[in-house]
Structure formats: C-alpha cells, structure tokens
Amino acid sequence: MSFRKAKALLSAENLRFTVIVTALTVLAAITFFLNLFTGSADISIGEALHVLFGGGEGTTAASVLLKIRLPRTLAAMLLGGALALSGYLLQTFFHNPIAGPFVLGVSSGAKLTVALMMIFAISRFHTIHSATMILAAFAGSMLSLGFVLAISQRVGRMSMLVVCGVMIGYICSAVTDFVVTFADNADIVNLHNWSRGTFSGTTMDNIRTMLLVVVLASGGTFLLSKPISAYQLGESYAQNLGVNVRRLRAALILLSGLLSACVAAFAGPVSFVGIAVPHIIRRLFRTSKPMILIPACFLGGSVFCMLCDMIARTAFAPTELSISTVTALFGAPVVIAAMIQRRRDGE
C-alpha cells in the first residue's frame, strides 16, 4: 500500500467515526427528549416544550418535568456513561473484555457500604449529603476491588477471577439485604428501591454533585488516552515505551472505582452496562484507540441507560421495573457474545 493510499484509508476511517458519533449523538438527543415526554403523568409535547423553555411556572407539568423527569433522565445519561467508562477501564486494567464493575463485585461492595452509611446517617442525623454517599460507595468499591486484586495475584485465570468477583458480589448483596431487612426506619422503602437499582428519586441537587464527579473522572480518563494505548500492548511493552506502569495501573483502578461508586451511590447496582456497552462500541467503531473509545463508550452508555430506563418506566406502567432488570435483559446476551468472540479470537 502506498503512503497516499494509507492516508486515504485513514480519512475514510475518520469519516466512519464521524458518522457513527453523529448517529449516536442524535440517538442520545432523541432518547433524552423521549424520556422527558413519556410517563404516567399526561403532559403534551407542546406543554413540555413550553416548560423546558422556562414557561408554565408553578404548574403540575412543570414540577413533574423539572423535579422528576429531568433529573431522572440526566442521572441515566451521566451514570450510564460513567458505568460504561468504568467497565472500559477495568477491561483495560485486566486485559480482558469481560471485566466490569458488576461481575467483579465492585458495584455490590459499593452498595453495601452505601446501605450501611445511609442507615447510620439517617438514624443519627435524619439526612445524608450526596458527597458522603459517593465517599462511602468509593470506599466499598475499593474494598471489593482490593479483594479481587489480591485474588487475581493468586489465580492467573480471568474466568476464576470473574467467578470470585460474582461470589464477592453475592456476599455483599446478602449482607446488604440483611441490613436493609432489619433496619427500622421510614426511609426504608426508599432504601429498598435503591438497593435493587433505580434512577428514580434523583434530585437536581444530586445532579450537581454527580456532574462534578463524573466530568472530572471522565476527563481524567480521557487525558490518559495515550498511556492506555501503550498499556494495551502489555505491561512490558508499555514500560519500554516510557510509561510508569505502576502509576497508570493505580490511576485506572481509582478512576474506575470513582465512576462506579458514583453510580452505586445514586442509582444502586446497575448490571452489565459496563461490559455490554464497551463491547458494542468496539464492534461498532472497529478500533482499539482509547482516544476514540473513551468518549464513544461514555456516549454509548448514556444512550443505553436512557433507553433502558425509559423501558423500565413505561413498559408496565404504572408498575416500574428495576433498571437492572432491563439492562440485564439487553446486556447479558451481549456479554455471552463477547465471551464467544474471545474464544474465537484464540484467547
């Protein structure tokens, strides 16, 4: 292939990336507005648009839209992206496409510490700040991840690691259920919903904290695009290229833990998004370049979670499904496909 031909191919690739990104962005916008316009309260599109552009103050429509649907949709958008990115980081870290915060028990670890923190804080102070919740979730994430890492040094095989992660997840969930069952408080209904995973109940105040954490962690991840690309070749090659491998590994774990902690704190456990979305995005873009995959995974996670949340809200309205019910339904088959693909690649 001549140099010019290679350049032409390069721009063809760029064109393809641009088309897919545009399509995903349009899809994100459509799902965003669909989420705002659908629901059990009967609000016409015209009415909704009027409210969104600052009108209809004090009406029921305004309060439903601005206090319930808008924060909930924003939460699905931000946390969906965070979850997909958290999965991408863990897959990079373990050099394995079936690693993710849910299967490695990270989400459940975070769930446990958040539940404990909520019960403690509510019984003592009758209130809890969202930043405290994130901190508690982060501590839980790091605890389970530390556990998984300790095991990974003993068992070399990734399949065993995933089994251990799932077991840790079950243990944490069992303890959480136990704590939730015997906690005596009026807020327990809320806690019960949260422990099954949901984007409902998010306030605009939550969104501000969430936005800060997610933007910082995602931005930090994007800034690591270059060393991540070297790390994909293996630790020895990365080291030879001048990457401080130990520092990079620590950064991958911390960022991934922070992102999944943010999800656990506000939405509880949300399953399979972390594996399914990066897998779909890699297939769609047919590239391994982190500089493209990182923003694309975020975008993909946003679309996926907004769609799933819409289904969870509307499919059997007024009964609401937990978000994990829907994400598992669409996500788990993708995970199976990813495993088959991996086998075929001769891994």
Partner 1 sequence: MTRQESLIAAEDLSVGYREPLIEHIDFAVHDGEILTLIGPNGSGKSTILKTLAGNLKQHHGTVYIENSPAHALTPNERARKRSVLLTERPRQSFMTCREMVEMGRYPYTGHFGILSPIDQAAVQAAIQLVQMEDFAGQSITAISDGQRQRVLLARAICQEPEILILDEPTSYLDIHHKILFLEILRKLAAEKHMAIIVSMHELDFAEKIADYVLCVKDGDIFRHGKPEDIFRGDLLRQLFDIPPDLYAKYLT
Report DSSP letters for 25-73, one per residue.
Answer: HHHHHHHHHHHHH-SSS---HHHHHHHHTT--TTSHHHHIIIIIIHHHH
229 binds partner 1 (CB under 8 A): yes
C-alpha angle 117/123/125, rounded to 5°? 85
The answer to whether 262 and 79 are in contact (CB under 8 A) is: yes
Q: Which position among 74, 136, 243, 321 is part of the footprint of partner 1 (CB under 8 A)? A: 243
Q: With contacts defined by CB under 8 A, name the span among 59-67, 81-89, 190-198, 229-237 that binds partner 1.
A: 229-237
**SS3 of 192, please?**
helix
Quick note: the x/- pattern for partner 1 over 2-21, rule CB under 8 A, is -x--x--x------------
156 binds partner 1 (CB under 8 A): no
Question: What's the rounded Cα separation, in Å, for the pair 281 and 300?
Answer: 7
Question: What's the rounded Cα separation, in Å, for the pair 272 and 324?
Answer: 8
Instruction: Name which of 17 and 33 has its Cβ closer to partner 1.
Output: 17
Closest CA to 314 of 36, 56, 55, 80: 36
Name residues contacting partner 1, limited to 67-86 (CB under 8 A). none
Q: Tell me the closest approach of the beta carbon of residue 339 to partner 1, in angstroms.
A: 13
The answer to whether 244 and 256 are in contact (CB under 8 A) is: no
Q: With contacts defined by CB under 8 A, name the span among 17-25, 53-61, 144-152, 238-246 that binds partner 1.
A: 238-246
> Prior bond to 318 cis, omega within 30?
yes
Q: Tell me the closest approach of the beta carbon of residue 58 to partner 1, in angstroms.
A: 49
246 binds partner 1 (CB under 8 A): no
Q: With contacts defined by CB under 8 A, name the span among 173-181, 240-248, 250-258, 304-312 that binds partner 1.
A: 240-248
**SS3 of 35, please?**
helix
180 binds partner 1 (CB under 8 A): no
**SS3 of 243, please?**
coil
Q: With contacts defined by CB under 8 A, name the span among 136-144, 212-220, 224-232, 313-321 that binds partner 1.
A: 224-232
Closest CA to 87 of 340, 282, 329, 236: 282
Q: Tell me the closest approach of the beta carbon of residue 237 to partner 1, in angstroms.
A: 7
219 binds partner 1 (CB under 8 A): no
- Count of residues engaged in binding partner 1, rule: CB under 8 A: 30
Neighbours of 196 (CB within 10 A): 14
What interhelical angle do 290-314 and 204-223 show, nearest 10?
Answer: 150
236 binds partner 1 (CB under 8 A): yes
Q: Which position among 22, 26, 240, 340 is part of the footprint of partner 1 (CB under 8 A)? A: 240
233 binds partner 1 (CB under 8 A): yes
241 binds partner 1 (CB under 8 A): yes
Structure tokens at 123: 């019984």
Instruction: Name which of 156 and 242 has its Cβ closer to partner 1.
Output: 242
Name residues contacting partner 1, limited to 267-306 (CB under 8 A). 282, 285-289, 291
Instruction: Name which of 98 and 143 has its Cβ closer to partner 1.
Output: 98
Q: Which position among 23, 41, 223, 315 is part of the footprint of partner 1 (CB under 8 A)? A: 223
> How close are the terminal C-alpha atoms of the chain, in Å?
30
Closest CA to 167 of 254, 90, 114, 108: 108
242 binds partner 1 (CB under 8 A): yes
Question: What's the rounded Cα separation, in Å, for the pair 75 and 327?
Answer: 15
Interacting residues toward partner 1 by CB under 8 A = 1, 3, 6, 9, 223, 225-226, 229-230, 232-234, 236-237, 239-244, 282, 285-289, 291, 345-347
